[in-house]
């Protein structure tokens, strides 16, 4: 018996050891660990990326930064006065905000010396170990020209060899600055360079040992690059792959997915449109869950679309959680705001306002901004008086980070600001607004796909004050020969295990414009709307009753179009939650698509203000479940643009204004082109409506997984 | 048409004062921000019925119902259902369970008046009084608001002190409708009211009335002479 136990312990130890093994132990390129000071990186922010030159090309190299323990403070849980404070504190790990001399950096290095120019500006590090020379290029995220050749630094304590000698010199050229005018000009259609991600529905499954999954997808001819990516949630282990473009095998090999890895690119496929077929083999001896996304970089003519995700100005009273009473002080705390979901973007701009007592700000006059575990940049603050410091600034997400944000739909969706020291009790104010300049579809403007319902823009209001849910207003439109049809959809997505959405109101002010940006008059506020729908246990019961089933199914089509993407986001986030502990990932409550019922106590009111402003007011009633409603408005002339020019919310007896403008103010106003010229051939796949690619014979206004590719 | 005198409004005034008294705790929890979601309006609704019966000198049932509702409000503040059940698809409050039951009990309390079919008539008339009172508040309330502003600190669902005349008339309306002579006669028969000469009821059903009084915990008739008596 004892022998069996000893054997079991040995096996367990070996298994654990294998789980922690760096690449060096797995017989790949060796892992080296050096102090940041030796690389001249002391004082640098932690947004490092690494690349090595191997077999004639630069490829991503894994890089880890020794993290420090931090506390994420989930802001919405502290806006009420009777919430469970302890739930708001999430222990995590981030790389130090400023690398210290002794911060350990572990990086994969390839043998030899590179012969071509590096794909970005950074430090070319030469490492010598037992006479053998190795090299790696370490660059900051903003200095990376070709992000596909780099891997982003992850916070983790890794193991590796200590080099005998370390030398480095600056190498490569910085990428050209992004053309800004392009981003802020409103036009019907313009050339846009963007990254987008979508799920390979048929290659996301559980596979037995030796089994495989296979999926087909199409990329438009303007695709400049694309990758098949395994995202977090994929069981760690080894996977083989083969990618065909048409009948031609263009990539094959195998990759290792490590524990806690956000994503692992199977292969970069290069540019060019066409039909791709990907097959992923489970090379492990255990059943594996596989989550597959396609990430692509496209440059084509796009209808204008600018989405905004905004929070109100949140005032939080931070008292200490129970476990910190002995220390009376929490260092390295980050205010965390959830709800930032993105699946495609050309550029993302964040406007952040923070008010904090000066003694709480650890870095003097600086606050750092993170999205998930990714460092985005810093905010500079100034002292208002002896007791207050204000930070009000704009942070642009470095384009090289988009490839890490998109496949996981925003990496858990949490934006954090810190580090702060919380000495009990302290009052903070925070407001975050994200502007996402993005494509309407993968296909270029005017393609066939616009003859089906396509999401033209969406405004997300993060209701995080005393309640926690997203209120999302989206416009869907379809182009016809004789004009366009459109409808607005308003839905709520509560965060799971948080406060819920009950007894609140939210009001959106919407305007339509013609092609020269003159307001279009509204004839009838609501030609039709089906009332507010929800799903609940009684819906589950009722759907099994035959006379009711017809009623339920009648309502499905429009409901699933808006919310299909969020079922997918939910499954992505649930998988991410299981595998990532170093930063918070917030879950959502979503639907089963076939059990909707009328939400009796919820209500939507639609009215017209001044003849041209549509006012949509949703009352959530007692529901914590998601709600959704569709509105069709009649206008006197066909509109070209749609914009959300105001948001207000009502909670605990008071109306509060969040945002109000008369004309779109850049870039923090949601604007979309609502259909223009009639479609003429081209890319025949809808991709960004449901988060998975559909063929054009799929149902027009719903997301049906049966039609996903 | 009978001529109106100040005596006509004594009942309404008394009921309104009970109404305000019963609502004092709800004003407090609302103004202090301890309880701001709509379920508290259910608690407020029960006070409208409780005040009516209390003004009639009947205390036990209204006080029991009111106490249950008040306890639910307090429990909602200190230990809401979410503390017990966690995240639920709809927001639960203890008041949502308690107040409708209390309100039903207070409405069906009308069945305690009269005998046989008259109990049903009493209930029907009380319901009619509630409906008529509601319509009256809707219509008169609009005109009243033109002249008298609401208190900004309180939501419109709460009875507000400056609206006293509105509620005096409301309860007089309830009394006029519910306490019809026929009801009064049967109320008197079980010892509730004095629409009929005292001697008659005692002569007719004395023994049985006494039984009813004991069963319903009715206190001596005289106490109620000034309360539910009508002219």
pLDDT at B33: 82
Whether the per-residue pLDDT at B19 is higher than 80: the answer is: yes
Angle formed by the axes of helices B164-178 and B10-31, nearest 10° = 130
Closest approach of B151 to chain A, Cα-based (Å): 13
Which helix (H) or strand (E) segment holds residue A94: the answer is strand A89-94
The mean-pLDDT minimum among A179-188, A414-423, B33-42, B212-221 falls in B212-221
Mean pLDDT for A34-38 is: 88
**B-chain residues within 8 Å CB-CB of A536?**
89-90
CB contact under 8 A, A500 and B87: yes
Is residue B89 within 8 angstroms of chain A, CB to CB?
A: yes
pLDDT reading at A20 higher than 80? no
Q: Do A653 and B36 touch (CB under 8 A)?
A: yes
Q: What share of chain A in percent tops pLDDT 70?
A: 87
Nearest alpha-carbon partner for A398 in A137, A178, A122, A670 = A178
Q: What is the mean pLDDT of the segment spanning B203-231?
A: 40
- Residue numbers in A near B79 (CB within 8 A): none
A476, A486 contact by CB (below 8 A): yes
Q: Mean of the pLDDT values across residues A407-421? A: 91
Question: Hey, which residues does A243 pair with through a beta bridge?
Answer: A251, A278
Q: Please report how many Cα atoms fall inside a 13 Å half-sphere around the Cα of residue A62, on the Cβ side.
A: 29
Q: What is the mean pLDDT of residues A535-551?
A: 59
Size of interface A-B (CB pairs under 8 A): 38
Q: List A474's β-bridge partners, or say none.
A: A458, A489
Question: Mean pLDDT across chain A, nearest whole number?
Answer: 84
pLDDT band at A25 (very low <50, low <70, confident <90, very high): very low
Contacts B87 to A, Cβ<8 Å = 496-498, 500, 624
The CA distance from A652 to the nearest CA of chain B, in Å, is 5
Mean pLDDT, to the nearest integer, of A241-256?
92
Q: pLDDT for A85-116, tens place per residue?
A: 777 888 888 888 888 888 899 998 888 888 88
Q: What are phi and psi of A226, to 5 degrees?
A: -160, 155
DSSP B124-181: HHHHHHHHHHHHHHHHHHHHHHHHSPPPTTS-TTS--GGGHHHHHHHHHHHHHHHS-H
Contact list in B for residue A500 (CB cut-off 8 A) is 87-88, 91
Write down the pLDDT at residue B153. Answer: 80
**Residue B91 to residue A82, Cβ atoms within 8 A:** no
> What whole-number distance in Å separates Cα of residue B163 and Cα of residue B136?
14
Instruction: Determine the pLDDT at residue A153.
Output: 87
Over 70: is that where the pLDDT of A401 sits? yes
Helix (H) or strand (E) holding B75: helix B60-78
Residue A644 CA to residue A670 CA, distance in Å, equals: 6
Inter-chain contact B91–A498, Cβ cutoff 8 Å? no
Q: Which residue of B has its CA nearest to A81?
A: B34
* Shortest CA gap B89–chain A (Å): 5
- Residues of B within 8 A of A497 (CB-CB) are 86-87
Report residue A560: phi and psi, to 5°.
-75, -20
The DSSP annotation for A545-580 comes to SHHHHHHHHHHHHHHHHHHHHHHHHHHHHHHHHHH-
Q: Which residues share a beta bridge with B5?
A: none
Residue B2 is classified by DSSP as P
User: Span A222-229, mean pLDDT?
Assistant: 92
Give the integer Cα–Cα distance in Å for A77 and A182: 39
Residues in chain A within 8 Å Cβ distance of B91: 500, 502-503, 622-624
* pLDDT-derived band at A2, boundaries 50, 70, 90: low
Q: Quick one: CATH architecture of A67-98+306-439?
A: Sandwich (2.60)
User: Which residues of chain B neighbour A81 with C-beta distances below 8 Å?
Assistant: 33
Structure-derived torsion over alpha carbons of residues A102, A104, A108, A111, reported in degrees to the nearest 10: 30
Residues A611 and A513: their CA atoms lie apart, in Å, by 13
Instruction: Assess B32–A contact: CB distance below 8 Å, yes or no.
Output: no
Segment A623-671, tens digit of pLDDT: 888 888 888 888 888 899 999 999 999 998 889 999 999 888 888 999 9
Q: What's the confidence (pLDDT) of residue A179?
A: 57
Residue numbers in B near A496 (CB within 8 A): 87
Q: Would you state the pLDDT for residue A381? A: 92
The whole-number pLDDT of residue A350 equals 94
Q: Provide, as residue numbers in chain B, all residues whose Cβ is less than 8 Å from the Cβ of A317.
A: none
Smallest Cβ distance to B90: which of A81, A82, A623? A623
Contacting residues of B for A624, CB less than 8 Å apart = 87-91
Binned at pLDDT 50, 70 and 90, residue A59 comes out as: confident
Contact (Cβ atoms closer than 8 angstroms) between residue A652 and residue B36? yes
Q: B63: burial class by Cβ within 10 Å (0-12, 13-18, 19+)?
A: middle
Bigger pLDDT: A672 or A175?
A: A672
What gap in Å lies between CA A61 and CA A258, rounded to an integer?
14
Minimal C-alpha gap between A466 and chain B (Å): 11
Q: Tell me how far apart the alpha carbons of residues B170 and A358 are, in angstroms, rounded to a whole number.
A: 58
Is the pLDDT confidence value at B199 over 50? no
| In contact, A30 and A23? CB cutoff 8 Å | yes
The confidence score (pLDDT) of residue A14 equals 45
pLDDT band at A327 (very low <50, low <70, confident <90, very high): low
- Chain A, nearest residue to B85 by Cα: A497
What residue ranges do the domains of chain B occupy?
A: 6-224
pLDDT (0 to 100) of residue B220:
38
Q: Give helix B60-78 / helix B39-55 axis angle, nearest 10°.
A: 160
Superfamily of domain A188-303: Galactose-binding domain-like (2.60.120.260)
Cβ <8 Å between A624 and B90: yes
Residue A495 CA to residue A574 CA, distance in Å, equals: 12
Q: CA-nearest residue of chain B to A493?
A: B89
pLDDT at A391: 95
Instruction: Mark yes or no for CB contact A502/B87 under 8 Å.
Output: no
**Is it true that A67-98+306-439 and A188-303 share their CATH fold?**
yes
Min Cα–Cα distance to chain A from B69, Å = 19
Cross-chain Cβ contact B91/A653 below 8 Å: no
Q: Minimal CA–CA distance to A68: which of A287, A348, A334, A252?
A: A334
The Cβ of residue A550 has, within 10 Å, a number of other Cβ atoms equal to 8
What is the distance between the alpha carbons of residues A630 and A652, in angstroms, rounded to a whole number? 26
Query: Do the Cβ atoms of B87 and A81 come within 8 Å?
Result: no
Task: Give residue B222's pLDDT.
Answer: 35
Residues of A in contact with B90 (CB under 8 A): 502, 536, 622-625
CA-atom Rg of chain B in angstroms: 19
Q: What is the pLDDT of residue A78?
A: 85
Cβ proximity of B57 and B220 under 8 Å: no
With contacts defined as CB-CB under 8 Å, which chain A residues touch B78?
none
User: Given this model, what pLDDT does residue A426 score?
Assistant: 83
Q: What is the largest CA-CA distance in chain B?
A: 62
- Do A411 and A152 contact (CB within 8 A), yes or no? no
> Once rounded to an integer, what is the mean pLDDT over residues A353-365?
91
Per-residue pLDDT tens digits for B132-172: 999 999 899 889 989 988 888 888 888 988 999 999 999 98
Q: Residue B80: list chain A partners with CB under 8 A.
A: 82
CB-closest option in A496, A536, A623 to B87: A496
Identify the pLDDT of residue A523.
Answer: 86
Q: Which stretch of A270-284, B87-101, B208-222 has the lowest confidence by average pLDDT?
A: B208-222
Give residue A16's pLDDT: 44
Chain B residue closest in CA terms to A502: B91
- For residue A330, the model assigns a pLDDT of 79
pLDDT of residue B216: 43
If you average pLDDT over residues A6-32, what whole number do you get? 51
* Domain residue spans of chain A: 2-66+103-171, 67-98+306-439, 188-303, 445-709
Instruction: Please state the rounded mean pLDDT for residues A141-149.
Output: 85
Q: Which of A440-449, A531-540, B214-223 has the lowest mean pLDDT?
A: B214-223
From the candidates B86, B90, B96, B153, which should be mutated to test the interface with A, based on the most A CB atoms within 10 A? B90
Count CA atoms closer than 13 A to A690's CA, side-chain side. 29
On the question of a cis peptide bond just before residue A425, with omega within 30 degrees of 0, the verdict is: yes
Each residue's pLDDT tens digit, A668-698: 999 999 878 888 888 889 999 888 998 878 7
Contact assignment for A497 to B77 by CB distance below 8 Å:
no
Interchain pair A652, B87: CB under 8 A: no
- Distance from the Cα of A604 to chain B's closest Cα (Å) equals 17
* pLDDT for B21: 94
In tens, the pLDDT along B111-127 reads: 877 667 878 888 999 99
Select the residue from A315, A503, A504, A620 to test the B interface by mutation, using most B Cβ atoms within 10 A.
A503
Q: How confident is the model at residue A441 (pLDDT cuts 50, 70, 90)?
A: very high
B149-172 burial: b if 16+ Cβ within 10 Å, else e: eeeeebbeebbbeebbebbbbbbb
Binary contact (A625, B89; C-beta < 8 A): yes
**Residue A699: Cβ within 10 Å count:** 16
């Amino acid at each position: 018996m004892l022998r069996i136990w000893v054997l079991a312990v040995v096996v367990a130890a070996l298994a654990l050891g294998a789980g922690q093994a760096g690449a060096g132990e797995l017989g790949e390129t060796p892992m080296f660990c050096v102090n940041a000071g030796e690389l001249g990186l002391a004082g640098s922010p932690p947004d490092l990326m690494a690349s090595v030159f191997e077999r004639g090309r630069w490829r991503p190299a894994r890089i880890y930064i020794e993290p420090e323990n931090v506390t994420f403070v989930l802001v919405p849980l502290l806006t009420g006065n009777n919430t469970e404070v302890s739930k708001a504190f999430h222990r995590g790990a981030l790389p130090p905000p400023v690398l210290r001399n002794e911060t350990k950096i572990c990086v994969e290095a390839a043998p030899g010396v590179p012969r071509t120019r590096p794909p970005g500006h950074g430090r070319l590090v030469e490492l010598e170990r037992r006479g053998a020379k190795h090299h790696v290029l370490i660059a900051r995220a903003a200095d990376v020209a070709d992000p596909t050749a780099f891997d982003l630094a992850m916070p983790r304590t890794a193991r590796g060899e200590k080099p005998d000698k370390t030398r480095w010199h600056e190498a490569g050229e910085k990428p050209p600055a992004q053309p800004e005018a392009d981003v802020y000009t409103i036009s019907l259609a313009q050339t846009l360079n963007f990254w987008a991600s979508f799920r390979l529905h048929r290659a996301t499954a559980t596979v037995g040992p030796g089994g495989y999954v296979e999926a087909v997808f199409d990329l438009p001819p303007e695709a400049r690059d694309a990758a098949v990516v395994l995202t977090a949630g994929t069981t760690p282990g080894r996977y083989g792959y083969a990618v065909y473009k048409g009948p031609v095998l263009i990539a094959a090999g195998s990759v290792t997915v490590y524990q806690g890895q956000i994503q692992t690119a199977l292969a970069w496929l290069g540019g060019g449109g066409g039909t791709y077929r990907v097959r992923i083999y489970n090379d492990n001896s255990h059943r594996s869950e596989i989550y597959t996304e396609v990430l692509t970089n496209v440059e084509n003519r796009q209808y204008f679309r600018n989405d905004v995700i905004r929070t109100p100005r949140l005032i939080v009273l931070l008292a200490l959680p129970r476990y910190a009473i002995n220390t009376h002080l929490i260092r390295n705390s980050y205010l965390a705001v959830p709800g930032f979901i993105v699946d495609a973007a050309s550029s993302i701009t964040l406007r952040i306002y923070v008010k904090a007592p000066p003694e709480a700000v650890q870095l003097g006059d600086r606050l750092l901004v993170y999205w998930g575990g990714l460092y985005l940049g810093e905010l500079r603050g100034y002292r208002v008086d002896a007791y207050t410091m204000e930070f009000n600034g704009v942070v642009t997400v470095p384009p090289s980070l988009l490839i890490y944000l998109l496949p996981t739909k925003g990496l858990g969706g949490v934006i954090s600001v810190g580090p702060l020291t919380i000495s009990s009790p302290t009052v903070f104010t925070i407001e975050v607004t994200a502007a996402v300049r993005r494509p309407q579809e993968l296909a270029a403007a005017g393609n066939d796909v616009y003859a089906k319902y396509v999401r033209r823009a969406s405004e997300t209001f993060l209701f995080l004050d005393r309640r926690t849910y997203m209120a999302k207003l989206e416009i869907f439109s379809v182009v016809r020969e004789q004009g366009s049809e459109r409808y607005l959809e308003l839905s709520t997505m509560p965060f799971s295990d948080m406060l819920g959405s009950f007894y609140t109101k939210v009001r959106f002010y919407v305007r339509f414009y013609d092609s020269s940006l003159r307001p279009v008059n509204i004839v009838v506020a609501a030609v039709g709307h089906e009332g507010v729908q929800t799903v609940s246990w009684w819906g589950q019961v009722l759907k099994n009753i035959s006379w009711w089933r017809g009623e339920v199914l009648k309502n499905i089509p429009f409901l699933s179009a808006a919310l299909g993407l969020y079922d997918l986001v939910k499954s992505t986030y649930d998988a991410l939650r299981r595998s990532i502990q170093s930063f918070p990932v917030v879950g959502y409550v979503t639907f089963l698509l076939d059990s909707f019922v009328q939400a009796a106590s919820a209500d939507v009111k639609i009215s017209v203000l001044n003849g041209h402003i549509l006012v949509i007011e949703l009352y959530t009633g007692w529901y914590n479940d998601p709600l959704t409603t569709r509105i069709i408005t009649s206008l006197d002339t066909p509109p070209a643009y749609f914009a959300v020019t105001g948001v207000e919310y009502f909670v605990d007896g008071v109306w509060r204004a969040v945002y109000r403008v008369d004309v779109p103010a850049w870039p923090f106003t949601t604007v979309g082109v609502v259909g223009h010229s009639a479609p003429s051939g081209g890319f025949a796949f809808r991709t960004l409506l449901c988060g998975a690619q559909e063929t054009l014979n799929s149902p027009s206004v719903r997301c049906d997984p049966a039609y996903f590719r | 048409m009978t001529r109106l005198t100040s005596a006509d409004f004594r009942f309404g005034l008394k009921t309104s004062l009970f109404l305000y008294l019963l609502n004092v705790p709800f004003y407090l929890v609302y103004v202090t921000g301890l309880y701001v979601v709509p379920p508290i309006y259910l608690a407020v609704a029960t006070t409208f019925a409780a005040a009516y019966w209390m003004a009639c000198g009947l205390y036990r049932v209204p006080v029991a119902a009111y106490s249950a509702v008040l306890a639910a409000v307090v429990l909602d503040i200190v230990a809401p259902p979410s503390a017990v059940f966690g995240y639920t698809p709809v927001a639960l409050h203890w008041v949502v369970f308690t107040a409708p039951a209390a309100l039903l009990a207070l409405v069906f309390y009308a069945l305690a008046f009269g005998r046989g079919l008259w109990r049903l008539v009493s209930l029907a008339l009380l319901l009619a009084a509630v409906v008529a009172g509601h319509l009256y508040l809707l219509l008169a309330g609009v005109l009243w608001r033109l002249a008298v502003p609401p208190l900004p600190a309180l939501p419109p669902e709460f009875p507000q002190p400056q609206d006293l005349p509105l509620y005096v008339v409301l309860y007089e309306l309830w009394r006029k409708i519910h306490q019809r002579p026929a009801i009064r006669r049967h109320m008197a028969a079980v010892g509730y009211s004095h629409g009929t000469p005292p001697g008659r009821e005692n002569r007719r059903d004395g023994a049985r009335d006494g039984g009813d009084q004991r069963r319903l915990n009715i206190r001596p008739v005289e106490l109620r002479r000034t309360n539910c008596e009508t002219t």
